[in-house]
C-alpha cells in the first residue's frame, strides 16, 4: 500500500501531501509534534500524548486546536493504514504567514501526520545494551516543550553514529545527566532507579512516566532526582526510555562499562513489565 499522510483533515499518499513554503514550521521551527506508537493494532498511551501536545501548544501561545480533530485524524490515519506496529508522527505548525519573526494573530495551524511501519525497527543487538557518548547540553532552555527545533539532537545523534555508538546524552553545565537526543535517561544508583526531575531541561517523556509507575507497581526503590555524569559512570545499571525504543539498556558511557557491560536485573524486570503493559494496550 502507498505510504499515507494526513493533511488538515484529508488522508492522501505522502508524496501528494505538501505545505506552503511560508509555513512558520518550515521557516522558524514554529511547530510542535508528537510521536505515538501502536502495538498489536492498538495505539499506546494516546491520551497522555494528546495531553502533552495540548500543553506544548498552550506553552507556545498557539491558536486553539481541537483535541477531537487531532484524535480523529490520528485514528483515521491509523485505521486506513492498517499497520499493526505503527509509528504516527503528528506535527502542528502555527500556520502560514509572509516571513516575519513576530507571529500574527488568527493564523490557522497546519496539522500534518505521517505513519510508518515500525516492525523490527530497533536493531536486535540494541536489546543487549547500547554504548553512548555524552556532550554538554547546548539546546534551548525549554526542552520540556516538544518542538520541531531538533538540530542539536540531529547533530549529536549523527556524531554518535559516526563514532559507532547508539546515542548521545546531554549533560548540564553543572555536570548533571539530562536526557539523550530523543529519550529520557535513567540510572540505578545505590539500588534506586533514578531519573532527572521534570523541569524545563528535559522532555516529560510518556515512557518515562510509564516506567516510574512500573517501579511503584514492582516495589522498586526509585526517585526523580538529579545525578551527575560521574555517578552515571559508576551506576549499577542505566537505560534510556522512549516511545520508539521502550526501555533500552545502556552498557557503556564514554567508554566506561556500566554494570560490567551487561544488562542489569532491574532493567530486565522493567523491560518484562513494560512488555506486558504494552501487550495489554497500556
Ligand atoms: C528529547 C526527548 N526526550 C525524551 C523523549 C521520550 O519521550 P516519549 O517517551 O514520550 O517518547 C523524546 C522522544 O521523542 C525526546 O525527543
For the stretch 248-272, pLDDT in tens is 999 999 999 998 999 999 999 999 9
**Nearest alpha carbon to residue 55 among 139, 141, 146, 182:** 146
Please give the number of the atom of ligand 1 that sits closest to the Cα of 49.
10
**Residue of the nearest CA to atom 12 in ligand 1?**
182
Q: What is the distance between the alpha carbons of residues 215 and 222, in angstroms, rounded to a whole number? A: 7
Q: Is 35 in the pocket of ligand 1 (CB under 6 A)?
A: yes
146 is catalytic: yes
Distance 152 CA to ligand 1 centre (A): 14
Q: Is 56 in the pocket of ligand 1 (CB under 6 A)?
A: no
Question: Which neighbouring-strand residues pair with 134?
Answer: 169
Please check the confidence at residue 36 and state whether its pLDDT lies above 80.
yes
pLDDT for position 281: 73
Average pLDDT, rounded, for the chain: 96
Please check the confidence at residue 282 and state whether its pLDDT lies above 80.
no
pLDDT for position 125: 76
Average pLDDT over residues 187-204: 98
**Residue of the nearest CA to atom 5 in ligand 1?**
183
**Residue of the nearest CA to atom 16 in ligand 1?**
182
Average pLDDT over residues 72-88: 97
Q: Is 233 in the pocket of ligand 1 (CB under 6 A)?
A: no
**Residue of the nearest CA to atom 1 in ligand 1?**
182
pLDDT for position 124: 80
Cut 0.95: pTM above it: yes
Q: Which cell numbers in the block locate residue 180?
A: 539523550
Average pLDDT over residues 110-125: 91
Q: Which cell numbers in the block locate residue 260?
A: 560490567
Q: Which cell numbers in the block locate residue 63?
A: 491558536
pLDDT for position 208: 98
pLDDT for position 110: 98
Average pLDDT over residues 79-100: 97
Q: What is the distance between the alpha carbons of residues 137 and 202, in angstroms, rounded to a whole number? A: 11
Greater model confidence, 3 or 122: 3
Distance 183 CA to ligand 1 centre (A): 4
pLDDT for position 77: 98
**Four-point Cα dihedral 173, 207, 225, 176, nearest 10:** -20
Amino acid at each position: 500500500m502507498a505510504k499515507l499522510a494526513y493533511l488538515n483533515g484529508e488522508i492522501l499518499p505522502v508524496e501528494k501531501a505538501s505545505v506552503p513554503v511560508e509555513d512558520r514550521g518550515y521557516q522558524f521551527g514554529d511547530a510542535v509534534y508528537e510521536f505515538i506508537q501502536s502495538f498489536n493494532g492498538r495505539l499506546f498511551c494516546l491520551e497522555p500524548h494528546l495531553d502533552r501536545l495540548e500543553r506544548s501548544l498552550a506553552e507556545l501561545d498557539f491558536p486553539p486546536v481541537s483535541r477531537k480533530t487531532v484524535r480523529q485524524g490520528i485514528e483515521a490515519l491509523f485505521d486506513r493504514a492498517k499497520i499493526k506496529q505503527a509509528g504516527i508522527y503528528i506535527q502542528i505548525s502555527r500556520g502560514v504567514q509572509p516571513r516575519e519573526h513576530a507571529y500574527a494573530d488568527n493564523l490557522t495551524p497546519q496539522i500534518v501526520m505521517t505513519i510508518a511501519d515500525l516492525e523490527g525497527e530497533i536493531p536486535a543487538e540494541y536489546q543487549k545494551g547500547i554504548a553512548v557518548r555524552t556532550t554538554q547540553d547546548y539546546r534551548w532552555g525549554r526542552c520540556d516543550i516538544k518542538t520541531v527545533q531538533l538540530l542539536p539532537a540531529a547533530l549529536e545523534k549523527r556524531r554518535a553514529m559516526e563514532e559507532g555508538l547508539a546515542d548521545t546524552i546531554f549533560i548540564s553545565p553543572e555536570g548533571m545527566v539530562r536526557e539523550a537526543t530523543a529519550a529520557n535517561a535513567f540510572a540505578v544508583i545505590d539500588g534506586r532507579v533514578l531519573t532527572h526531575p521534570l523541569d524545563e531541561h528535559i522532555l516529560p517523556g510518556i515512557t518515562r512516566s510509564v516506567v516510574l509507575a512500573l517501579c511503584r507497581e514492582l516495589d522498586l526503590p526509585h526517585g526523580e532526582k538529579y545525578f551527575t555524569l560521574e555517578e552515571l559512570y559508576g551506576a549499577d545499571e542505566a537505560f534510556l526510555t522512549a516511545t520508539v525504543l521502550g526501555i533500552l539498556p545502556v552498557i557503556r558511557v564514554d567508554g566506561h562499562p556500566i554494570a560490567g557491560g551487561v544488562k542489569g536485573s532491574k532493567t530486565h524486570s522493567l523491560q518484562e513489565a513494560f512488555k506486558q503493559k504494552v501487550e495489554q494496550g497500556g
